[in-house]
């Protein structure tokens, strides 16, 4: 298959590759290690912490191009953003700043 498709990286895909990808992206979205631990069926949190390290390496903090940002001026606006999956970042000049991964 590698020769037919001309892609030697296919040999680096293992049985657990999709599992690692799903766990890493799930942690990146939720930031909830207990959720990922439950999803994977791990008994020990140490096994799940591997995905936190992967997530930090893949989705580096500080790169604003990875986020959609919004500003809320009212409590109603802030509530709507939180319900839409945005996370609160900080207050600035009387506004609340939110972000969500793209």
Model confidence at 70, pLDDT cuts 50, 70, 90, reads very high
User: Rounded distance, CA 39 to CA 71, Å?
Assistant: 33
51 and 74, same structural domain?
no
Range of the domain at 39: 2-58
Cα–Cα nearest to 79, from 93, 98, 94: 98
Q: How many domains does the chain have?
A: 2
pLDDT tens by residue, 7-63: 666 666 667 678 777 887 788 788 888 888 888 898 988 888 877 776 666 666 555
6 and 39, same structural domain?
yes
85 and 50, same structural domain?
no
Instruction: Determine the pLDDT at residue 64.
Output: 53
What is the pTM for the complete model shown? 0.46
- Name, in order, each residue with C-beta under 8 angstroms of 10's C-beta and a sequence gap of 6 or more: 1, 2
19 and 41, same structural domain?
yes
């Amino acid at each position: 298959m590698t020769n037919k498709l001309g892609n030697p990286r296919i040999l680096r895909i293992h049985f657990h590759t999709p599992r690692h990808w799903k766990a890493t992206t799930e942690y990146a979205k939720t930031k909830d290690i207990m959720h990922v631990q439950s999803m994977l069926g791990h008994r020990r949190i140490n096994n799940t912490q591997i995905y936190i390290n992967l997530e930090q390496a893949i989705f580096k903090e500080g790169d604003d191009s990875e986020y959609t940002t919004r500003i809320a001026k009212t409590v109603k606006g802030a509530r709507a953003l939180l319900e839409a999956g945005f996370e609160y970042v900080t207050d600035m000049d009387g506004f609340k700043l939110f972000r969500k991964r793209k």
